[in-house]
A and B are shown apart, each in its own frame.
Chain A
Amino acid sequence: MKFLNITTLWQKLVSPWRPESNREAGSGIVANFLLHWFPNRISVRSLAFSASFYLGTITFVILLALTVTGVVLMFLYVPSVERAYWSIKDLDHAVSFGWLLRRLHRISAHLMVALVFLHMFRVFLTGSYKAGEIVRSARPFNWVLGVTLLVLTLLLSFTGYLLPWDQLAFWAITVGTNIAAAVPVVGEKTRQFLLGGTVIGQPTLIRFYVLHCALLPLALFAVAAWHMWRIRKDGGLAIVEQDRQEALVRKPAEPKKSKTYSVLGIASGTTVQVNDPTTLNEDNSVPSTPFLTIRILVVSLLTLAISIGLSLVVRAPLEAAANPEVTPNPAKAPWYFLGLQEMVGYSALMGGVIIPTVVVLGLMLIPFLDREQKGIGIWFTDGPGRRWAAFGVLYGLVTTCGCLAIALLAPMRDIFPTIESQFFFDLVNPATFLLLLFAGMYFLVLKKTSSTRYAAIATFCAFIVAFVLLTYTGTALRGPNWDFFWPWQAWPSHPMAL
């Protein structure tokens, strides 16, 4: 008897589930709680790797990995200024698999920030924030949810940055919150609210800890669930619009006999004649189980394997214990803020306040500014779109390098040595130039093509290039005293005690 049980168990484990009919495949979705938010059938187009690169799925898997490692870390971490640093030392040296937990959590956090950006780039460049003409979906709203998720992810990463309580953490948060303090009128108050005082201390640590471990994750999960539910409600990935277009021109199929509606008691009799559902049919779609589920399995496995594999080789740094008396040189914010920090070097008001506000507002407003409905789900919309994207990349490259060159070779204060007003330099500096150049390009392309989509593509591509270049400069090319160093130039060596 016992032997028999083992045999059945083994059979269940090894025999693949292969549905013999669409009905069986569909009930595979309905019968499983975890799968029931998947659609019954999925468009072959949206299953294609190139449609999304599965960036949203990967981000979600990484989020799960962060949640699991984060909860375990909460058992081992002590959020007090006396103990925090040493509890991390214990994790690194004495706790079984503590090193893996910390490295995996850290690398996943960086990956998640990067993936959220990449996912946003993909959604923009495929025009997936558009409502579509056939069924007016709420994708524009879902884009706004996505930008909210981006901000929440950055806040989560930023609050987590402080927790190890080492020099890196302490000074990155110092620099980061000082950027917030550059906001006129309310800046200093905002900074005090974040820190729970005028300097980073125990009140700051406990604030960041609660935000990082409770409030922000709850908010992130709530908005993420909404974000994914909306995808389902909007009919799947935006490329489904192409299926809808084709279904419109397709000759309607012969009506079929169906019993579907009889249960509702709408029609008399036991059968009604209905048209085949318009969008998805046997040719352009497959059952979600197993076609979608197996993809998600593959993506999850590979994501986890790669992030654990990276954790094996990439050490999580831990600098000296936080010391308010000793400022490391250079003191840098977390990497995703270094583009901003680079511009703060030109003007705190422009780089720290105006540009981030313009960027976040601009991102949120994209779907409401660009309402053209062609080429939804297709990379760069069409041929001219690709050319404008290439133009945007080139334009971004030239203008950003130009502004960096001005900042390095001809600082404004050298050009206008007689002017003392800080307000003048807040208005006239390379960051302002870049903002104006990009805004100018948007309107020029718009005028030339009369297409908001092409103008948006060109500007967005230029923005990506500027973001990458500025972040790279702030991260890799800025050394002690925020001096510029080429990658092949060594930084001055760091003195030690002994």
Chain B
Amino acid sequence: MIKKISQREILLVLIGAVLILAVAVAAIVFDSEPEWKYYQSEFRAVVAENIADIDPATLPSGIQQIWVEKLDRVDRCTTCHLGIGWKGLENVEQPWTTHPMPEIFGDHPIEEFGCTVCHGGQGFALTENDAHGFVEHWEEPLLSDIAASEYDPRKPPPLYEIQCNYCHRYERSTEGMPYINNAKEFVRTKGCKICHVINGDGGKMGPNLTHEGDKHAEGFDFSNLVSDQLTVFNWHIKHFQSPPTIVPGSIMPEMNFQSHEAQALAMLVMSWRNDEDLPRAYLPGVELKDELTPEEIERDRRIREGDGAFFVEHSCFVCHSVKAYDLFSPTDKGPDLSLAPDDVRARFNKTVEEFLFDPTGTMKIILESQIVLSDEEKWEAVEKIMKAYDIVKNRAAEKAADTEGGS
């Protein structure tokens, strides 16, 4: 006979097996019951209660995500905030409610902007705590009233305007951004650019502020900030109110800003971030045009005004000059329209109006497919051509008279 394994050893195996089973079950439970599943199931109830004609089976389920490739953002906020784009859930509580400003989606379609680019927060995350971003090592927390009330419980500053102005920074003023608009007014009236470079131009006395919003918390000296809130935002507020208190020896003048004014300015400087990676299409107020000389701009303006404007608007000037109106075609493929009455008569034996209403040759194709004019527009064209013809004739007559008188 040989030794048998003791009961104690078998008991240990059992304990080990049970422990493995226990941790595995715990892991599965932990993974299979995320918060968002609860919010999604509640959303069905919310919809059923508030909107009659919706089949709950058609509601979105599973992780929802908006991937904005151009902004390099992935936002999973709509996994819980399912009602954002819905009508009829305005009075429902968070996270199921309709967006409080649905009109914002007109200029900012959600699929091209996502959520966090305006609101802050951690778009990747799927639990409230992580997603709202009030966690260690996440530097863009949700710009909510809760965060703002830390600075002013009675009148929380609208922190999200910081994010708005990331794109809207070159605009003089923007609808729906009262704090930032106010701060921009200060920048213009208080002479900030005398000492600071802002948006690429200004004086050299103070530091360049064009990318001030990118400066990391580590880059600030908090040693003179007496406050519980060691934040960059608070540093700016206190600094605007009294520069030499925060930066001893600073020669930046004290402007006696009210606290909400200092908050607005702090928001403005924090919005000044490097936008090199931002696609130009996201920057309103930035002209995507070739550079023009003042003469070219003036000429451009002139041909868009007055009687010649009609021929520019309808692209006639692509081929035809109208010299009577100082309009010169860049290609000059067709004859000068100022002389059209003579020209049409000579070539087609028609008046201008007959030719416009019943064209032949190349003009037949163009007027039928490229430049389709209504009857009123045709009459207008005839009128303007005749007027041009008169001008040319008068000029010729004057010239002839001049020559005669001169000789």
Contact = CB atoms under 8 A, between A and B. Distances in A.
Given A18-B4, A304-B20, A497 B232 contact: yes
Given A93-B125, A94-B124, A498 B27 contact: no
A327 interface: yes
Contacts of B27: 97, 100, 308, 311-312
Contacts of A173: none
Interface in A163-190: 166-167
B229 to A, nearest CB: 9
B233 interface: yes
Nearest to A320: B137
Interface string B42-83: 000000000000000000000100000000001010000000
A92 B126 CA distance: 10
Interface of A: 16, 18-22, 25, 86, 89-90, 92-94, 96-97, 99-100, 166-167, 286-287, 290-291, 294-295, 297-298, 300-302, 304-306, 308-309, 311-312, 317-320, 323, 325-329, 493-498
Contacts of B1: 20
Nearest to A328: B218
Contacts of A493: 230
A450 B393 CA distance: 129
Contact of A305 (B23, B138, B159, B220): B23
Interface residues of B, number: 50
Interface in B2-54: 2-5, 9-10, 12-13, 15-17, 19-20, 22-24, 26-27, 30-31
A319 B9 contact: no
Nearest to B27: A100
B244 interface: no
Contacts of A100: 27, 31
A311 B24 CA distance: 11
Interface of B: 1-5, 9-10, 12-13, 15-17, 19-20, 22-24, 26-27, 30-31, 63, 74, 76, 124-127, 130, 136-141, 143, 147, 159, 216-220, 222, 230-233, 235, 270
Contact of B16 (A92, A297, A327): A297
A294 B31 contact: no
Contacts of A290: 5
Contacts, number: 124
A79 to B, nearest CB: 18
B70 to A, nearest CB: 14
22 contacts: A21-B2, A22-B2, A90-B124, A94-B63, A94-B76, A100-B31, A286-B3, A290-B5, A291-B5, A301-B13, A304-B20, A317-B137, A320-B138, A323-B216, A326-B218, A496-B139, A496-B231, A497-B140, A497-B217, A497-B231, A497-B233, A498-B141
Contacts of B147: 498
Given A86-B124, A93-B125, A305-B20, A496 B12 contact: no
B82 to A, nearest CB: 17
A283 B130 CA distance: 61
Contacts of A291: 3, 5, 9
Given A298-B13, A493-B230, A308 B218 contact: no
Closest CB pairs A-B (n = 3): A301-B16, A305-B19, A495-B217
Contact of B217 (A92, A96, A496): A496
Nearest to A323: B216
A298 B9 contact: yes
A328 B63 CA distance: 34
A496 B12 CA distance: 50
Given A327-B218, A497-B139, A298 B19 contact: no
Contacts of B10: 16, 294
B231 A297 contact: no
A70 to B, nearest CB: 18
A284 B139 CA distance: 64
B31 A96 contact: yes
A99 B23 CA distance: 14
Contacts of A326: 216, 218-219
Nearest to A295: B9
Contact of B23 (A20, A86, A309): A309
Contacts of B138: 320
A19 B2 contact: yes
A381 B315 CA distance: 103
A201 to B, nearest CB: 18
A300 B16 CA distance: 8
Contacts of B136: 319
Contact of A319 (B20, B74, B137, B222): B137
A286 B222 CA distance: 70
B67 to A, nearest CB: 11
A19, A323, A494, A497 — which one has the most chain B CB atoms within 10 A of its CB?
A497
Contacts of A298: 9, 12-13, 16
Contacts of B231: 495-498
Contacts of A90: 124
A287 B2 contact: yes
A47 to B, nearest CB: 10
A495 B137 contact: no
Contacts of B127: 93
Given A94-B124, A295-B9, A309-B19, A498 B216 contact: no
Contacts of B141: 498
A308 B24 contact: yes
A302 B14 CA distance: 10
Contacts of A318: 137
